Chain A
Amino acid sequence: MTVIAKESLIGKRVAKLDAPEKASGRTRYVHDLDLPGQLHARILRSSRVHARIVSIDTSRARALPGVHAVLTAADVPWQRPLGVGRDQLPLKGDRVRSLRDEIAAVAAETVEIAEAALRLVDVVYEDLPPLTDVRAALAPGAPVIHEGRPPTKGAERPDAASHPNVAMTFDYAQGDVAAGEAASDVVVDGWFRLHYVTHCCMGVSGMIAQFDATGNLTLHSNTQVPFLHKREFAEILGIDPGRIRIIQPPIGGGFGSKLDIYPFEPICVFLAKATGRPVKLVFTREEEFLASPTRQPVLLRLTSGARRDGTLTFRVCETLHDNGAYTSWGATTPFVMMQTISSLYRVPHVRYHTTAAYTNNPYAGSFRGYGNLQATFAVEQQMDELAEKLGIDPLAFRLRNAQDPGEVTPQGMHFRTCGLKECLATAAGASGFLAKHAAARAAQRAPGRVKRGVGMASMLHVGGGAKIYPSDGCGTILKIDDFAHVTLITGASEIGQGSETVLAQLVCEELGVPLDAITVVNNDTDITPWDVGVHASRTTFIGGNSAIGAARKAKAKILAAAARSAGCAEAELDLRGGHIVRAASGEAVTTLAKLLRSLHFSDRAELVMTTHYYEPPSRHQDAAYKGDVSAAYAWATQVVEVEVDTDTGVVRLVKVTGAHDVGRVLNRLGIEGQIEGGIVMGQGYALTEDLVVDHGVVRNPAFRDYKLVTAPEIPAMDVHFIETMDGEGPQGAKGVGEAPAICMAAATANAIANATGVRLRELPFTPEKVYRALRSAAG
């Protein structure tokens, strides 16, 4: 008799399934794909920030040998507006509104020929007054960027929509701010300025478009939202969405950058249509800096109040978003920002307003954290400022106002699990926060050119999807073959975050098979069932629950068959180690493969194939932005220790101690990587990364002057997991993708203030900026 012990993969350190391919250089990204007969495309972009196009002459470019097509807006009169705001055409015909604007596109035999052809396109511009300051954009008489355009979605309140440059507005309120102000013993108030950064995916943007003989369109695309994009492409191209197939090659990073549809994508399709050949369009790195979206730059004013006893009374937040020339997801980051303002801590009275205004600057998209880095930066600095004014330590003040499990906030979010207090206590305890904070504070005026300090910040983020669309669901198809090999076909996209590994783990856990008995298929809309896309830290939670649902159906079918042949009840059997076993003893009854064959090759002729669609029990928010938008919420506290060199302004991160409420750890190796990577991304946002946009021109479109964090600067990290076992989460887990980047800038600002007594409200904390602030504080 063979006895098979119960083994669990949950919480283990599991190497990513795609790691061997990637580590050995075998992975074929879109850049590496070449289709037979393929042409190469390049795009001509505006050389003016704001101008009328007087004429475009492509005759010289068309005449160049090797050129197959040169397209301008005049060649595609049927093109339709695209993007979140539907406020731009893929090819601009009469006017350019930013330097990235697409004017012409070439398909040629080689990239070099396509580039040479671009240089032969003659464009005559007539400059218009550029508008590159978001405050100036709202001044009376400012040049209007989009004439005759009403503000888009989100702008339910028409009052704020008076200026023609307003792209979007958001208003949210809870309680009665006047009452909150009256009840306050201390109030802090400040302006915060958040800068441009960009995703810097290792894989630059690119796609291949191909029509077949009957007009079906196949796109090899890096999109994060393949199913939504089928509809978008169909609308823009005026074709039936059913004729569009999207295949995602392995994607070299997303971080939110591939959530909207961008002009280059339909342009690539136009060229494929015009030439009848597959067309490949891949950005240069410089183009990636110039023409992919940024994180939303924000000017933010926050006022917060508290009573003497340390309870928060109110917050008023007003933000001005530089929308850039067109509207993408960046404009909608207030959805997330207001959650942090209203619900990271208990605060009874809140008023929130955002105006997003058009300018001639680059436009912002979605980026890991989605506005939360910006909101947390302000909220958590004011938590420290209030604590200081009240004479309470920063930890006690936060604990006093922290949310508890079971809380339903005035915004309607229901925190079924909430580990915030444990996160605070764990991060503070493990880092020795209180003692270090007090010591650094006492040493602010002591001699010595290098000052040490410690700062903390916490965060709240959706951890169970986010119901932005009518559905937040994900579909799974699962099949098990006659050798007991499992194929998991999921709608959930992999962008390097490790979701396919976690989904495989969850299925293996249900079916009692080892990880090498599973293949994940997740990249072809003709095969995979619908999913809303990879965003909002949702894939493990939503895709995971969907996969578990399909696996449980398969398991039920298998156990029913096994019980029939063993002549026992289903409940007496279980699946372990590729076997059917007696649940009580672990004694093997038969192998899973044998049982499957007995079903398949019998007169029942039955295959084990199941489907499942999971829709989380969250709600679409109402017109006042209230509602339980996610099925679970993630929490974290990070403590950052810094050294500030007062001679240079260099801020060195010494150590980051993090405590993350992740519901439950599924893949320990994966989640550690996710958190460490997020910390480094947050560090770059806080200290080094800065896309310099000067009068509409990106001044540093290269890694030489756009400073990513490099290995020697990465701090020591001590990460703790708080496992609150979420009731709705897959095996208790919650989403964690965005969380680790969110606190870093705020905690670093607090640490610098602790070290030097100087509070910085403008990112990034580059040496010169820090040095200037220290000097002007010294007088």
Chain B
Amino acid sequence: MSVEHYWAPRTLDEALGHLAGGDVTILAGGTDLMPQKNAGRVRLGRGLLNLSRVDALRGVAVEKGCLRIGALATITELLAHAAVREHADVLAQACDRFASDQLRNAATIGGNVCNASPAGDTLVPLLVLDAEVELASRPNGSVATRTLPLAAFLTGPGRTARAPHELLVALRVPLRRAPAVGRFFKFGTRPALDISTISIGFAASRDGGTLRDVRLAYGAVAPVPMRSHAAEAALDGAALTDATIARAAAAAREDVRPIDDVRASAWYRRELVFNMTRRILDDVAHA
């Protein structure tokens, strides 16, 4: 079966209206969708909804105690945006390890989140930033929105809590007052254009020699990107000594649930989780 309708609406209302009709595939940058379609892994619905002209989905702004990132913001835009550097540095770092320039110009953050790959590179920093997703729909004529924590939105590899008639409108990152540290680490077999074998996001606020509000997340080591609460607990309120660092790294290694695939074995992913968590924390301790 092939696509029967193609829409490229300009308003959110129209877009949601088309979605309400059912069996519609959403197209943003297409950098996940098209390869997946060509490989026969996804089937396009009867309708194809191109979001690229919906201005309401664009833009990055600070509003109501949040950094609000429109679903259509591209990786290139995030990299260039001062507010992202200021309030979500760990996300900016991840964007700097994302694919290549050509991809970054097309790939959107909404597409990365909705694609829900365990290796999606914006998911790990968004998790450590306690991001929320903003969803909209038009079930019976009027627009309804709801907000979910990202952790609740991601339900499995390639699966989310988004209903078929819902659109991801924006991501919201709460602003924090305390001076913060953030680190993103991505491991692939080469420095550019690689899918993460593992990734690590770290954020915390600094209170003299100790860390507070520690958030540590891992990608490509479980069905969905995950926080390691055990490692966070080992670090929270503690001074970053070698012993603390080793304890946290070991806790993270216990927490993750990696698999063997063509890119790496589960054993090696666990080793990387330990070694690289230690390296990041060493780096923070000596910064």
Contact = CB atoms under 8 A, between A and B. Distances in A.
29 contacts: A647-B275, A647-B278, A648-B187, A648-B272, A648-B276, A650-B189, A688-B190, A699-B262, A700-B262, A704-B195, A705-B262, A705-B263, A707-B190, A707-B194, A709-B190, A711-B192, A712-B190, A712-B191, A712-B192, A713-B190, A713-B191, A766-B189, A767-B187, A767-B189, A768-B264, A768-B268, A771-B268, A771-B271, A772-B268
Contacts, number: 43
Contacts of A449: 279
Interface residues of A, number: 22
A707 B189 contact: yes
A689 to B, nearest CB: 10
Interface string A661-705: 000000000000000000000000000100010000001100011
B82 interface: no
Given A647-B276, A710-B190, 12 more contacts: A647-B275, A648-B187, A648-B275, A688-B190, A705-B262, A705-B263, A710-B191, A712-B192, A768-B264, A768-B265, A771-B268, A772-B268
B193 interface: yes
B139 to A, nearest CB: 38
Contacts of B263: 705
Contacts of B195: 704
Interface string B249-287: 000000000000011110010011001101100000000
Interface of A: 449, 647-648, 650, 688, 692, 699-700, 704-705, 707, 709-713, 766-768, 771-772, 775
Contacts of A650: 189
Contacts of A647: 275-276, 278-279
Nearest 9 A/B pairs, CB to CB = A647-B275, A768-B268, A712-B191, A710-B192, A699-B262, A712-B192, A707-B189, A768-B264, A705-B262
Interface residues of B, number: 19
Indicate the member of B194, B195, B268, B278 with the most A CB atoms within 10 Å.
B268
A614 B190 CA distance: 46
A198 to B, nearest CB: 16
A68 to B, nearest CB: 23
Nearest to A772: B268
Interface in B197-227: none
A434 B275 CA distance: 33
Contacts of B262: 692, 699-700, 705
A767 B275 CA distance: 13
Nearest to B191: A712
A20 to B, nearest CB: 24
Contacts of B278: 647
Nearest to A704: B195
Contacts of B194: 707
Contacts of A705: 262-263
Contacts of A700: 262
A449 B282 CA distance: 12
A704 B272 CA distance: 21
B16 to A, nearest CB: 33
A686 to B, nearest CB: 13
A707 B190 CA distance: 8
B200 to A, nearest CB: 12
A61 B271 CA distance: 52
A431 B272 CA distance: 33
A704 B276 CA distance: 24
Contacts of B265: 768
Contacts of A709: 190
A496 to B, nearest CB: 23
Interface string B50-94: 000000000000000000000000000000000000000000000
Contact of B193 (A710, A766, A768): A710
A147 B9 CA distance: 64
Nearest to B274: A647
Contacts of A648: 187, 272, 275-276
Nearest to A703: B193
A766 B268 CA distance: 12
Contacts of A699: 262
Contacts of A775: 271
A692 B262 CA distance: 8
Nearest to A646: B275
Contacts of A711: 192
A330 B194 CA distance: 31
B253 to A, nearest CB: 13
A648 B190 CA distance: 12
Contacts of A704: 195
Nearest to A692: B262
B42 to A, nearest CB: 16
Contacts of A688: 189-190
A112 to B, nearest CB: 11
Contacts of B189: 650, 688, 707, 766-767
A168 to B, nearest CB: 31
B220 to A, nearest CB: 14
Contacts of A713: 190-191
A570 to B, nearest CB: 61
A369 to B, nearest CB: 23
B1 to A, nearest CB: 13
A771 B187 CA distance: 14
A705 B279 CA distance: 27
B190 to A, nearest CB: 6
Nearest to A764: B189
Nearest to A652: B191
A587 to B, nearest CB: 58
Nearest to A284: B38
A759 to B, nearest CB: 20
A116 to B, nearest CB: 11
A766 B195 CA distance: 15
Interface string B161-204: 00000000000000000000000000101111111000000000
Contacts of A707: 189-190, 194
Interface string B99-129: 0000000000000000000000000000000
Most chain A beta carbons < 10 A, residue from B189, B191, B195, B264: B189
Nearest to B265: A768
A710 B188 CA distance: 13
A705 B276 CA distance: 23
A713 B190 CA distance: 7
Contacts of A767: 187, 189, 268
Contacts of A710: 190-193
Contacts of B276: 647-648
A716 B38 CA distance: 38
Nearest to A768: B268
B202 to A, nearest CB: 16
Contacts of B272: 648
A648 B265 CA distance: 13
A709 B193 CA distance: 10
A270 B104 CA distance: 45
A489 B136 CA distance: 69
A700 B39 CA distance: 13
Contacts of B187: 648, 767
Contacts of A768: 264-265, 268
A768 B194 CA distance: 15
A639 B8 CA distance: 57
